[in-house]
Amino acid sequence: MARWEPGARERLVVAAVDLFAEQGYDNTTVAQIAERAGVTKSTFFRHFPDKRELLVAGQETLRQLLAEGIAEAPAEAGPLAAVAAGLVRASSAMGPVNRELAPRIKAAVAASTELQERDALKSVSLAEAMTEALRARGVPGPAAALAAELGVLAFKRGFAEWSGQDTRDELAGYTLDALDELRAAAASLD
């Protein structure tokens, strides 16, 4: 086992997703994940506190990118335009590996109540980050929360469509299209 080979974190995520798909989340051990990734258990624990964290590995980065995009939106941008800027920023961090792993992660989450709960917490966390960023721009609480929730839904819908496509298109187009659809749907509720 190579101890200092680069890419250990990514290999651990891929190994875990593959094992979760093959034998289920509950039947997969940290030792098996480390072995499949070609690292030691110590290396696993340097990157992740436990196996639950593997599937939300980029959550903090995603939170930060969404918040930064919102904060850097033009001053005259309304709440949804600022959310769109956050979606563009966050989408830029997603590439072919994310697209490739998405169906396997979705299957692993669908098969585990624990992972479903973790996924729900991830959505709450992303909405919270966007709400805080919008409030820092002066958007009132209820409007900030609603815009943030629409942003999370747009990201999830756009990511699901993008990851199901065999295309070189960027994720941002899918998330922005989803946000536009949600904006139109919200306007039709009146």
Q: What is the CATH number of the domain that holds 13?
A: 1.10.10.60
Q: What is the pTM of this model?
A: 0.84
Who contacts 34 (Cβ-Cβ below 8 Å, separation ≥6)? 12, 15, 40, 41, 43, 44
Mark whether 71 and 39 lie in a shared domain.
Answer: no
**Collapsed DSSP state (helix, strand, coil) of residue 19:** helix
Are 79 and 99 found together in one domain? yes
3 assigned to some structural domain: no
Q: Examine the domain organization and report whether 99 and 42 are in the same domain.
A: no
Distance, C-alpha 127 to centroid of its chain:
12
Is the domain of 49 the same as that of 62? no
**Packing angle, helices 8-23 and 96-110, rounded to 10:** 40
Domain that holds residue 147: 58-187
Q: What is the full per-residue pLDDT of the chain (190 aa) written as tens digits?
A: 444 556 888 899 889 988 988 888 889 999 999 999 999 999 999 999 988 888 777 788 899 999 999 999 999 999 999 999 999 999 998 888 888 888 888 888 888 888 888 888 889 999 999 999 999 999 999 999 999 999 999 999 999 999 988 777 899 999 999 999 999 999 999 7
One domain for residues 19 and 69: no
Q: How far apart are CA 178 and CA 162, in angstroms?
A: 11
* Nearest CA among 21, 48, 22 for reference residue 106: 21
